[in-house]
Amino acid sequence: MARASATAEDTLSSELIRAAGVKVTRGRVRVLDALRAARQPLSHAEMEALPAGAGDAAIDRVTLYRVLDSLVACGLALKAVDTRGVFRFSAAGAQRQHAKHVHFRCTGCGGVFCLKAEPPPPPRLPRGFRLQQVEFDLRGLCAGCGALAS
């Protein structure tokens, strides 16, 4: 049974990287794969701890920073700071789906949790203002961090 059409999700990371006009390296493919598979933005430390896939050597710490920067530079990844001040990266395009629900950002561990609720309708804007994005973020302690703090 053939698929009707190839969606963005089906595209191989290596092809995305090639199309972006930069060299296709093992590091970039592995990192972009990880970002695209992740359900939340990942920090550098979390990616460094990734299972080193089938006999592959772990990626060097500095190289990982540079790989992430290169993915951001060519538009394949997004970089944002979490509540602890640590940078987190996500695959570009993951934003579309996350625009449809609310997020909880843990001030303890920096984690981002996708909630079921959808963002409330925006209030009326002053004349001439153009709305591009609605961000409804809740901040606090996640269950894990709250248990530690109590």
**Binding partner at 61 among DNA, Mn ion, Zn ion, none, C-beta below 5 to 8 Å by kind:** DNA
Distances 133 to 100, 122, 136 between C-alpha atoms, Å: 11, 10, 10
Amino acid type, 70: S
The two three-digit tokens of residue 85, written as one number: 């001040």
Q: What angle do CA 1, 37, 106 make, to 5 degrees?
A: 145
Does 98 interact with Mn ion (rule: CB under 5 A)? yes
CA distance 103 to 17: 29
Q: Could you tell me which stretch among 9-17, 33-41, 61-69, 100-108 binds Zn ion (CB under 5 A)?
A: 100-108
Does 141 interact with a second copy (rule: CB under 8 A)? yes
Footprint of a second copy on this chain (CB under 8 A)? 81-87, 102, 104, 107, 113, 115-117, 120, 122-144, 146-147
Footprint of Zn ion on this chain (CB under 5 A)? 106, 108-109, 111, 142, 145
